[in-house]
A = this chain, B = another copy of it.
């Protein structure tokens, strides 16, 4: 498997009671994920509440995660900012802190000006300056803009642009991204409800919030697809669907953090203005996790046994 293929999870950032980043909690989560078959972790993605962190916190998150992620696994850091120069700065700092690649969200504030040409100019400069491979990142639901396929096609020719994460569930668009790119250009799915289809369309893996709580199941979906046990893959994905919705579009990162709490991860509250889920939602998440069962969530296994590092 090439680099950046496989199932990654965009990890949440845990906060201490006073509101600062809880580095110890982050360390514990990372260690536990490293006991799963995940190909790698994405820090500072949307799920990591990256837009709510300051620059120093962002740098620390990369460094702390790096300590827990061995060389064999990918550590990808979100470094997209609105300005090209801030994106380059964040990219260099993330690389210096040990990130294997950066995931660069589209700038989006000045929407009417975000043309294909502007996107190409932005990403080309970032890729020129980045010490590590650059992954494009399109997440229309949050940004309100869409990176055009023609821009991706042009950027895929850049030697330091390694791939793209497409967060939506438009399988026609995903197939277009695969089709437009040269051999070796990585396309990662960002939606767990779309994973099997995206993989069959030629995606090389995924960056899935769902994988933070059911990593083994998400990896199994891809393994089933690789062995072309498509019906089993679809069936497994369908079992995960209600939970995928809950930690995705329905309750967002607050939902994912609550589900992590249920499983013994360090979830906690999101940073304001985001608010925690209600008690009812917490109960719903608990029930959905029980429906899925301990085999898929891995909750039955004693956490200690899942932490290889520090031995």
Assess the B200–A273 pair: CB atoms within 8 A.
Answer: no
Assess the B194–A171 pair: CB atoms within 8 A.
Answer: yes
Secondary structure at the A interface, as helix, strand, loop or mixed, is helix
User: Please, how many residues of chain A have a CB less than 8 angstroms from a CB on the other chain?
Assistant: 62
Assess the A274–B110 pair: CB atoms within 8 A.
Answer: yes
Pick from B49, B200, B230, B273: contact of A118, CB below 8 A.
B273
Given A171-B169, A197-B171, A249-B112, answer yes or no on A83-B121 (Cβ-Cβ < 8 Å).
no
Bound complex: CA of A113 vs CA of B281, how far in Å? 14
A309 interface contact, C-beta 8 A: no
Assess the A271–B83 pair: CB atoms within 8 A.
Answer: yes
Q: Which of A195-222 contact B (CB under 8 A)?
A: 196-197, 200-202
Indicate with 1 or 0, residue by residue over A93-119, a CB within 8 angstroms of chain B CB atoms.
Answer: 000000000000001011111100111
Chain B residue with the shortest CB-CB distance to A238: B179
A262 interface contact, C-beta 8 A: no
Bound complex: CA of A55 vs CA of B234, how far in Å? 43
Assess the A252–B113 pair: CB atoms within 8 A.
Answer: yes
Assess the A193–B175 pair: CB atoms within 8 A.
Answer: yes
CB distance from A25 to the nearest CB of B (A): 18
Indicate with 1 or 0, residue by residue over A15-38, a CB within 8 angstroms of chain B CB atoms.
Answer: 000010000000000000000000
Given A273-B122, A274-B113, answer yes or no on A172-B169 (Cβ-Cβ < 8 Å).
yes
> Known pairs A119-B273, A228-B230. 8 more at Cβ < 8 A?
A46-B109, A85-B271, A109-B142, A111-B142, A175-B238, A176-B241, A179-B238, A228-B228
Chain A residues engaging chain B, CB cutoff 8 angstroms: 19, 46, 49, 51-55, 82-86, 107, 109-114, 117-119, 121-122, 125, 141-144, 169-173, 175-176, 179, 191, 193-194, 196-197, 200-202, 228, 230-231, 234, 237-238, 241, 249, 252-254, 271-275
30 A-B pairs (CB sep. < 8 Å) = A49-B83, A51-B83, A52-B82, A84-B272, A84-B273, A85-B272, A107-B273, A109-B142, A110-B142, A110-B274, A111-B142, A112-B252, A113-B274, A113-B275, A114-B273, A117-B275, A118-B273, A121-B273, A121-B275, A169-B172, A169-B173, A171-B193, A175-B193, A175-B241, A176-B193, A179-B241, A197-B201, A200-B200, A228-B228, A230-B230
